[in-house]
Amino acid sequence: MLADPPWTLFTLARTAKNKTRSNMNAMRATAAAVPDIQDDMHDMVMLRTWASRPNTAETPARPSATMCSTSA
């Protein structure tokens, strides 16, 4: 069995180094984007909560039993 030529090992090492650097840059970019993603998620939850409430200007409040007159 022949040994790998030295430039193959060098190429593999360089490729691994570049891949590690690329992964580190990707992780940094993701970490930098996390606060923005969390803000967007918070805004979506708040908007959904706000949208699920009835619009009091258009839907009148139902009278409660204590407000109804039962006398004839």
Tens digits of residue pLDDT in 10-66 = 777 788 888 888 888 888 887 777 777 778 888 888 777 766 766 666 555 555 555
Whole-prediction pTM:
0.34
Domain carrying residue 39: 14-45
| Stretch (H or E) spanning 18 | helix 6-52
Tell whether 1 is covered by a domain. no
Q: Which is more confident, 40 or 68? A: 40
Angle at 24 between CA 17 and CA 43, to 5 degrees: 165
- CA pair distance 59, 56, nearest whole angstrom: 5
Tell whether 6 is covered by a domain. no
Q: What is the pLDDT of residue 62?
A: 59
In the block, tokens 């407000």 appear at 67
Structure letter (DSSP) for residue 68: S
Total count of domains within the chain? 1
Q: What is the pLDDT of residue 8?
A: 73
